[in-house]
Structure 1
Amino acid sequence: MKNIFAIGLDIGGSHITAGVIAVNEMKLIEVSLYKESFDSNLQADQVMDIWERVIRTSWKNSGVEEFVGISVCMPGPFDYANGICWIKGQTKYEHFYGLDVRKLIRDRLNLSDDFPVLFENDADCFGKGEVFKNAENRSRKVMAVTLGTGLGACFIDKAEAITTGNKVPTDGELYNSPYKDSIAEDYVSARGLIAHYQQLSGRKIDSGLEIFNLATAGDEIASEAFRNLGEDLAVIVAPWLKTFEAECFIIGGKIANASVFFLTAFEEKLKKQGCEVPVLISSDNEIAALLGATSLIYKEYFNQNESAFLY
């Protein structure tokens, strides 16, 4: 079979990563991996300048001449079928509300109106990608979360994202689940970590990275802030791990890189919630997201379910 290639994009609140995927093998062309950090609250045309540069750089570095589609991991709220952004009031993509992101990408790259540009929830992409990476998970029920500027969640059963039914929260989302005096994302995210630290220290910190650096340097308050986040995460996910009957739980996102500071607290609290399940920390969140996104292209191009090529 002739090799076909697609561009995968992992788009977050403060970064974009692009990579060219050999779809037949579901493998990343490593030299194509390219990432830039940026302020997603810039005007839309400025953000698109950055996206275009990243996509074209990845494409050029890959050495691939043609690709059959673009698949995008995108945070919500977002109309994934129609490519419309509905993010508002989340300190990211404030100027994208109501925009047709599919058209923006096609226009920037001079693509035809029928060229496949597909979108998927970023957490679902991450979860699917982790399943592709680990053969043992391909027949399991897997719950995964991404911890970063927001809280993403996905529920995967035999490589399919489950978003309906009484075994998962509404739309498979956790970020807006009621928790304490607010919602889950206000406690388990970068802003949640910042709030934990401020409550403990009385000091306002601008970023989660600063708290990570403090914890790394031995600051006990910063370490406690991470532990509090871990405990909150356990309380939030435990009921759904039980209801979904998850056989594996995976943590990804930028905050997962600081798991040394919260994993023990998370696992201990999880056990107290009466829930014992293997917990994994993703070692390459972005590659997992790119692979998960590209599964949409495989499905589109070969017109079959992902499960057909997983076994």
Structure 2
Amino acid sequence: MNTEYAVGLDIGGTHITAAIIDIVAMKMIDFSLHKESFDSNLPVAEVMTIWEKAIRTSIENSKVEKTTGLAVCMPGPFDYTAGVCWIKGQSKYEHFYGLNVRDLFQNKLNLSADFPILFENDAVCFGKGEVFRDSDNLSKKVMAITLGTGLGACFIDKGESISIGDLVPKDGEIYDLPYKEGIAEDYVSARGLIASYFALSGKKLNNGLELFNLAKAEDQIAMKVFEEMGEDLAAIVIPWLENFSADSFIIGGKIANASEFFLPVFIKKIKEAGSNVTVSVSTDNEIAALLGATSLLYTA
């Protein structure tokens, strides 16, 4: 495939980021990065209009005349081969359940049936992108997670994503691992943070950014909530860091921006558990995700 430029999309629960990627050089085209924030529980037609705007704006700003592929980071559960969304009960994309998102893109963008539209888990895209950005990781076992509206994870061994086998959890996912009174994502996610703050303060916040701003203002309850999330995250990932024999653990996603409030206790807990894994926070996880997504087209 003589693909030179591709559209990379990072789609989350509250945003879409688009950029044009030179997939031979594996670099983003200047000025092409464009982001739109939105409510993913809007009707499908409204969401698709927002997605189309992000894509067309990115292409226009890049001055690239022809793109020959579309690579999409999507949260799960999602059939990444067929392009079908199976997200349900996660406070996002409720109207997309059972729909073929590849068909939605083809129709909205008037693309031919043979135009490559590939999908991958957002956490896998992030992890692969981080590996591409640091060639040292190509020889390592890397566990990467994304912290945002959900809890994403991927396990990468020498550049290859591992999602089956005894070394990783089912499908390489940790969001649905049993934890405390529910599953991991109930505690380590934006909604988990908001629920925890409400339980301690009686005050309801609208989003994770409000909690972050409270912590920055030295609100003691907000800071405690982030610390508890750090403890929960450690408890959830320690068994899999050990099982996978991970060399490196990389944290991305919007909540990674608040790492100053949860990372110290997280590192303390994993060291107490005897882990020597190298822990890092992505400096630009959106770009990493876009590079990881478009790498699918390079190898397709």
Query: 1:3 Cα deviation (Å)?
Result: 7.3
Letter in 2 for 1:210: E
Measure, in 2, the Cα distance between the counterparts of 1:66 and 1:288: 23
Query: 1:203 Cα deviation (Å)?
Result: 2.4
Identity of aligned residues (%): 65
Which residue matches 2:41? 41
Which residue matches 2:29? 29
Residues 230, 263 of structure 1: 8 Å contact kept: yes
Measure, in 2, the Cα distance between the counterparts of 1:270 and 1:193: 21
Measure, in 1, the Cα distance between the counterparts of 2:275 and 2:139: 21
Note the alpha carbon deviations across 1:101-138, whole angstroms, 9 max, x for none.
00111111111011100000000000000000111111
2:129 is the alignment partner of 1:129: yes
Which residue matches 2:160? 160
C-alpha spacing 1:296/1:3, structure 2 compared with 1 (3 Å): closer
Letter in 2 for 1:87: I
Which residue matches 1:217? 217
Query: 1:64 Cα deviation (Å)?
Result: 0.8
Letter in 2 for 1:90: Q
Give secondary structure in 2 for the equivalent of 1:249: strand
Query: 1:215 Cα deviation (Å)?
Result: 0.6
Moved over 4 A (4+): none
Which residue matches 1:234? 234
RMSD between aligned alpha carbons?
1.2
Query: 1:214 Cα deviation (Å)?
Result: 0.6
Query: 1:273 Cα deviation (Å)?
Result: 2.2
TM-score, length-scaled by structure 1: 0.94
Give secondary structure in 1 for the equivalent of 2:40: coil
Q: Which runs of 5+ in 2 are unaligned?
A: none
**Count of residues in Structure 1 that have an aligned counterpart in Structure 2:** 300
Measure, in 1, the Cα distance between the counterparts of 2:255 and 2:121: 18
Measure, in 2, the Cα distance between the counterparts of 1:65 and 1:21: 13
Stretch deviating more after TM superposition (59-68 or 227-236): 59-68
Residues 3, 297 of structure 2: 8 Å contact kept: no
Note the alpha carbon deviations across 1:221-252, whole angstroms, 9 max, x for none.
11010000001000100000001010000000
Note the alpha carbon deviations across 1:147-169, whole angstroms, 9 max, x for none.
00000000011111100000000
Give secondary structure in 2 for the equivalent of 1:95: helix
1:120-269 map, 5 Å: 120-269=120-269
TM-score, length-scaled by structure 2: 0.98
Query: 1:290 Cα deviation (Å)?
Result: 0.2
Letter in 1 for 2:297: I
Residues 196, 229 of structure 1: 8 Å contact kept: no
Query: 1:277 Cα deviation (Å)?
Result: 1.0
Residues 13, 93 of structure 1: 8 Å contact kept: yes
Give secondary structure in 2 for the equivalent of 1:153: strand
Note the alpha carbon deviations across 1:8-67, whole angstroms, 9 max, x for none.
000000000000000111111131000010000000000000000100000111111111
